[in-house]
């Protein structure tokens, strides 16, 4: 199967997820498989296209995280968080390998903004997570490091992809730990999905340039 067909299938799975499942409560197997396939197919396409190994690994961990988070229970949630953290670290390793020269003013501004966001997450958002407060704090640090590395490497698509991926994580945390109104939770889920999948797709595209 060609990489182009896999990319089309990934985009189609992402569209089905966004239109049919994003934001809805429940843990159906149909939603789990469609969500997982949308990123797993990106990983396969990236591998066929010769994407850097760390990017393929990051996408694979993202697919594993999607599968885990789509299943019920705290153990599945923690497994999903761990998978996504490893995926962020894999992306960060690739971005760090591309750093060359002094940081730009944009990079410094992004890093400063992420430092503030990580601090806000640790001091204000994490306590809402209860027993998961420390895992949330650690996860925030990992995201911040990934975005900082993307800013320092100076490649636009990688930075934009990382930023909107991080934005989807923030919306997910707000939805999980703070939002109680069903309508707000629904729309938060619908908003975070295109940011999440689009961020991963941009990271893949940027790594191939």
Tens-digit pLDDT profile for residues 39-91: 999 999 999 999 999 999 999 999 999 999 888 788 888 899 999 999 999 99
Q: What's the predicted TM-score (pTM) here?
A: 0.92
Say if CB 36 and CB 70 are below 8 A apart.
yes
Instruction: Kindly report the average pLDDT of the chain as a whole number.
Output: 91
Record the tokens describing residue 50, joined without a space. Answer: 């010769």
Residue 43: which H helix or E strand, with range?
helix 29-49
Say if CB 129 and CB 177 are below 8 A apart.
yes
CA distance 120 to 100: 30
Residue 29: pLDDT above 70?
yes
Reported confidence tier of residue 150, pLDDT bands at 50, 70, 90: very high
Distances (CA, A) of 84 to 68, 183, 195: 10, 26, 15
Q: Which of 87-91, 127-131, 163-167 has the weakest average pLDDT?
A: 127-131
Residue 188 burial class via C-beta count within 10 angstroms: exposed 0-12, middle 13-18, buried 19 and up: buried
Reported confidence tier of residue 208, pLDDT bands at 50, 70, 90: very high
Query: CA dihedral in degrees (33, 207, 85, 43; nearest 10)?
Result: 20
Q: What is the pLDDT of residue 23?
A: 67
Q: Can you tell me the mean pLDDT for 168-180?
A: 90
CA distance 88 to 84: 6
């Amino acid at each position: 199967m060609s990489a182009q067909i896999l990319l089309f299938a990934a985009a189609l799975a992402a569209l089905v997820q966004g239109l049919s499942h994003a934001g809805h409560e429940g843990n159906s197997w149909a939603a789990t498989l469609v969500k997982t396939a949308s990123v797993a197919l990106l990983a396969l396409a990236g591998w066929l296209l010769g994407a850097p190994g760390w990017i393929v690994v990051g996408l694979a961990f993202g697919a594993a995280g999607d599968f885990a988070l789509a299943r019920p229970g705290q153990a599945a949630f923690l497994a999903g968080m761990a998978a996504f953290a490893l995926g962020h670290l894999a992306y960060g390793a690739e971005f760090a390998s591309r750093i060359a020269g002094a940081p730009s003013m944009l990079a410094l501004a992004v890093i400063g903004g992420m430092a503030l966001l990580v601090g806000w997450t640790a001091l204000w958002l994490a306590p809402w997570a209860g027993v998961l407060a420390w895992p949330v704090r650690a996860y925030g640090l990992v995201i911040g490091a990934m975005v900082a590395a993307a800013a320092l490497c100076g490649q636009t698509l990688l930075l934009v992809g990382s930023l909107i991926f991080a934005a989807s994580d923030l919306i997910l945390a707000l939805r999980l730990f703070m939002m109680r109104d069903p309508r707000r939770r629904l729309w938060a889920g619908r908003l975070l999905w295109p940011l999440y999948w689009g961020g991963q797709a941009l990271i893949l595209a940027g790594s191939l340039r």
